Amino acid sequence: MKSTIVTFPDGRISGRSEIVGAVPAGVRHGLVVAETPFHPLDHTWPDQPADRGTIGGLPVVDCVTGAWSAGSLHLGEDIPARRGAEGWQWLVVHVTDTPLPVGATVELEVDAGHRAALSAGHTACHLAALALNHALAGRWRKEVALDGLGRPDFDQAAITSSRISPNGSVDVYRLGKSLRKKGFSAEGLDRALDEIAGEANDRLKAWVAADAPVRLDVPGPELTARRTWHCSLPEGAASIPCGGTHVTRTSELGAVTISLSLDDAALTMRTTATPAA
Ligand SMILES: [Zn+2]
């Protein structure tokens, strides 16, 4: 099997392709096609959940990443290599309760509403990260890598997990010793959370109002191509490496707001978008 060609980076939600592989997926069936619009959960950085929909009329109950090498296949968490590693074919595996034959040509249909909500959640997540970087910029005491807007990149320096949901996300940042060594001061952060969130929310409001265009740079058609998210904001052009799906303009998000909470050495940011139905 060859690496799956994916069309979701272009915003596609339907397609037709040949089944090129049928593999066991636990007690279920894993179907691989040559080209798919389905976004699978990534095993290395599982931020955006799998698409829902149908393949050949059958419900896709899950959609996971597969890695194929030397005649053996690994799925999801069992993949022993990092996303896109050499020597592997990277597959989108559509999980169904009923098998379909290899060689059959099938229609693939992604649940449009679920996809749109995940795209809104993902774009909002990236904008929120940039707004948070901005609001925390004054807390850095040393030089540190900058984000696309020229602010210290707190998001990249501290993030431990990012989980996207329909119209939202939850990002967790670690405020431990290593971040302090990099020059970040968390002193008095607990008392400043409302002010920081307020500043970020003002900026997010302006970015949504700016109706800024969002696009993905897609260097190749395969699942693990190193795609990049771009957004032309009033402050400048921001970019973030990203394997997911997005809206095409910030105005589609309706409103984006964050809230912050601090728990031991973790800062949690909850982001909500409210796109028009
Ligand atoms: Zn992303």
User: What are 156-180's pLDDT values in tens digits?
Assistant: 999 999 999 999 999 999 999 999 9
- pTM reported for the whole predicted model: 0.96
How many angstroms does the Cα of residue 166 sit away from the middle of ligand 1? Answer: 14
- 92-108 burial, b at 16+ Cβ within 10 Å, e below that, comes to bbbbbeeebeeeeebeb
The Å distance, Cα 244 to ligand 1 centre, comes to 5
**Res. 227 pLDDT band, cuts 50 70 90:** very high
Report the pLDDT averaged over residues 130-156: 96
pLDDT of residue 73: 94
pLDDT band (50, 70, 90) for residue 5: very high
223 CA to centre of ligand 1 in angstroms: 14
Å from CA of 194 to ligand 1 middle: 26
Ligand 1 center from residue 240 Cα (angstroms): 7
Which pLDDT belongs to residue 264? 83
Q: How far is the CA of 31 from the centre of ligand 1 (A)?
A: 26
State the chain's mean pLDDT as an integer: 96
Rounded Cα distance between 52 and 130, Å, is: 29
What is the average per-residue pLDDT within 216-232?
97
